[in-house]
Amino acid sequence: MSVDHAMFELAEDTGALCWRVYRWDPWCLSFGRHEPAARRYDRARIDTEGIDCVRRPTGGRAVWHARELTYAVAGPVEPFGSLRHAYQAIHRLLAVAVTSLGAAPSLAGDRTTPGLGSGPCFDAAVGGELVLGGYKVLGSAQRRGTTALLQHGSLLLEDDQSVVRSLHRAAVAGPPPEAPLAALLGRTVGFDEAADAVLRALAAGGTPVLADGAPNEVLQGALRHYDTYQSDRWTWER
């Protein structure tokens, strides 16, 4: 989260466009920036089971990060336009990546974004998020600054979001509205394969790729935010 926050700041300061794909170790539950997590999720159970939690710099609702791919993109608002257009543009590029994995995703239609207390992120597909066979496979959330935006998203590879529903204080009824790519394609879809597909789609669209671990000002800027995102006070402030 510190790195993604630093990407957002760089975009605000310089107009740079940055993409990042990564996975979580250990697996983690993330809350949206303004989500009332302390009221909606069972912290005592979370602590007892040793589940790691963090609060994102972007909005939206809770996501379980296990065997999935997380992307982050930060860049100037102007080329993207409205919130709706930004979501669609970013999701269209990700749809190219998912198609190369052997799927045929569609973009969810426009609809009102659910309220923060209405359940996990994957309970509904909105704003061009990716749907495959009627199931949501990618969920995203965004933050806007003065001149730049930061968008996060999770592409489900091997796991669904049942952990999030099990930790929600209110019963979340009905069949899961999401499914991982592995279940829908009938084969294993690993992180490396999915990450390569995203990087190829980026390269085809003209976005250069920085070698993993290369020193740069984003990593230096992330140091300013490390203590915040590590803090329980930040994670559970709402």
**Cβ(108)–Cβ(91) under 8 Å?**
no
Q: Would residue 121 show up in a list of annotated catalytic residues for this protein?
A: yes
**Cβ(49)–Cβ(42) under 8 Å?**
no
DSSP string, the chain: -HHHHHHHHHHHHH---EEEEE--SS-EEEE-TT--HHHHB-HHHHHHTT-EEEE-SS-S--EEESSEEEEEEEEEHHHH-SHHHHHHHHHHHHHHHHHHTT---EEPPP-PPPPTTSS-GGGS--TT-EEETTEE-EEEEEEE-SSEEEEEEEEESS--SHHHHHHBSS---SS-SB--HHHHHTS---HHHHHHHHHHHHHHTT---PPTT---HHHHHHTTTHHHHH-HHHHT--
Q: Which of 18, 28, 53, 121 is catalytic?
A: 121
Catalytic amino acids? 121
